[in-house]
Structure 1
Amino acid sequence: MFRHRKARYKGLAKNTAQLFPLFGFANLMLACRWLLNVYTQGAS
């Protein structure tokens, strides 16, 4: 979804720096979906 590529051994620090924001964005998307479900179930 976020176009992450498999780690290469030349730039492990770069790959790690790329993964942290990807996991953060994934957590935000999951939280957004959860909040939308909570609000739509509470409205009906």
Structure 2
Amino acid sequence: MRARYEKQLGSKFSLRAFHDELLVGGGMPLAVLERKMDAWAARQK
């Protein structure tokens, strides 16, 4: 997942922000996490 967003966001990718967003919601199904992270990536652009 990290590689996908690094490629998608390029220089706007922040590993710290990625990890913060990834961990903030706690445990969740992968499909839900992917939707959440897609929304995060859209906000980063």
TM-score surpassing 0.5?
no
TM-score (norm 2): 0.42
- Between structure 1 and structure 2, the one with the greater Rg is 1
Query: Greater RCO between the two (CA within 8 Å, min separation 6)?
Result: 2
TM-score (norm 1): 0.42
